[in-house]
């Protein structure tokens, strides 16, 4: 009994460290969430933590901030833009990469190894190296400020990683499966559709989640190729310009910030396992 007590006392520092870190990581987000539901007067006159004294006091919370940023500050439009940008910018690179990865994994062609080493090399190239020439190209071809322009840009930037991961995944598929399929007269295209894609659903899902979150949260690429016009700007661009224009209007900024995080958070909580796998797989991206 005493031995047990000693053991649990010895573990107190462990719990202090871990719970302390959990609080430090969680409280900033909590403050944002609570503030986004408070009135302007309340946010400016007292800290958000004062709410915790009377958390159930009726009438201290409001949805007005959300209404205001969605309508007057253009966050609703930005949300739609983010969806329009992110969905094709997720599907397109994975589709293109899957085709190439299949060739790299299961076909013979000259320069196969050299080309794949090129892909590995391109993995870590900083985006910054590409911005000016592409922007010039876009200004000439009028792709600047358009959705197709940013879809293609994200496809380009997402490709090295997607090709690399999918090729590694595809090459783990047992050779026998292909051999028996080809004996049955299947074409390479059939083998791709019937063997490769169905067996790779987990890898494709993880990759899709990574690419989705990456594009959704991207600021730089959107800022450079789309610019700040409200018609096309995604959430991140809109939010960053609100940080400048709204200044100390924390009741609005916090609501706008939360809107920009809502979808990734839903994905995080509902698909946590794929989410973690995707982020881990995508960690080396330039």
At closest approach, how far in Å is the CB of 185 from another protein?
14
Q: Judged by CB, which is closer to another protein: 72, or 120?
A: 120
Name the nearest CA neighbour of 261 among 210, 213, 207, 211: 213
Q: Work out how close the CB of 28 gets to another protein at its nearest, in angstroms, rounded to a whole number.
A: 5
Taking the complex as a whole, the smallest distance from the CB of residue 147 to another protein amounts, in Å, to 16
For another protein, the closer of residues 20 and 67 by Cβ is 20
Near another protein in 104-163, by CB under 8 A:
104, 106-109, 115, 117-134, 136-137, 152-153, 155-157, 159-160, 163
What residues between 203 and 222 interact with another protein by CB under 8 A?
213, 216-220
- Residue 71 CB, shortest distance to another protein, in Å, is 19
Closest contact distance (angstroms) between CB of 266 and another protein is 9
Segment 176 to 205, residues that bind another protein, using CB under 8 A: 178, 182, 188
- Of residues 219-278, those binding another protein (CB under 8 A): 219-220, 223-224, 235-236, 239-240, 243, 248, 250, 253-254, 256-257, 260-261, 264-265, 267-268, 272, 275-276
Find, among 235, 258, 265, the residue nearest to 38 by Cα. Answer: 258
Binding residue (CB under 8 A) for another protein from 15, 67, 193, 231: 15
In the shown chain, the binding pattern of residues 23 to 42 toward another protein, with x for contact by CB under 8 A and - for none, equals --xxxxx-xx--x-------
């Amino acid at each position: 009994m005493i031995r047990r007590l000693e053991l649990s006392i010895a573990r107190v520092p462990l719990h202090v460290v871990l719970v302390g870190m959990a609080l430090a990581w969680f409280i900033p987000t909590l403050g944002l969430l609570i503030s986004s539901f408070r009135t302007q007067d309340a946010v400016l006159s007292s800290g958000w933590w004062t709410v915790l004294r009377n958390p159930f006091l009726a009438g201290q919370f409001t949805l007005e901030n959300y209404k205001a940023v969605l309508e007057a500050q253009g966050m609703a439009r930005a949300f739609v833009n983010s969806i329009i940008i992110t969905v094709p910018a997720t599907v397109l690179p994975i589709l293109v990469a899957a085709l190439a990865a299949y060739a790299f994994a299961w076909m013979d062609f000259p320069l196969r190894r050299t080309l794949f080493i090129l892909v590995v090399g391109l993995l870590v190239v900083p985006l910054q190296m590409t911005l000016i020439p592409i922007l010039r190209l876009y200004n000439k071809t009028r792709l600047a400020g358009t959705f197709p322009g940013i879809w293609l840009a994200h496809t380009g930037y997402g490709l090295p990683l997607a090709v690399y991961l999918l090729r590694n995944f595809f090459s783990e598929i047992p050779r026998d499966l292909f051999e028996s399929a080809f004996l049955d007269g299947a074409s390479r295209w059939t083998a791709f559709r019937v063997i490769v894609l169905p067996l790779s659903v987990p890898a494709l899902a993880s990759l899709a989640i990574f690419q989705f979150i990456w594009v959704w949260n991207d600021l730089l690429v959107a800022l450079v190729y789309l610019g700040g016009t409200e018609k096309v700007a995604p959430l991140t661009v809109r939010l960053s310009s609100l940080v400048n224009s709204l200044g100390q209007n924390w009741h609005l900024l916090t609501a706008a910030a939360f809107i920009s995080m809502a979808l990734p958070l839903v994905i995080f909580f509902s698909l946590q396992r794929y989410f973690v796998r995707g982020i881990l797989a995508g960690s080396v991206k330039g």
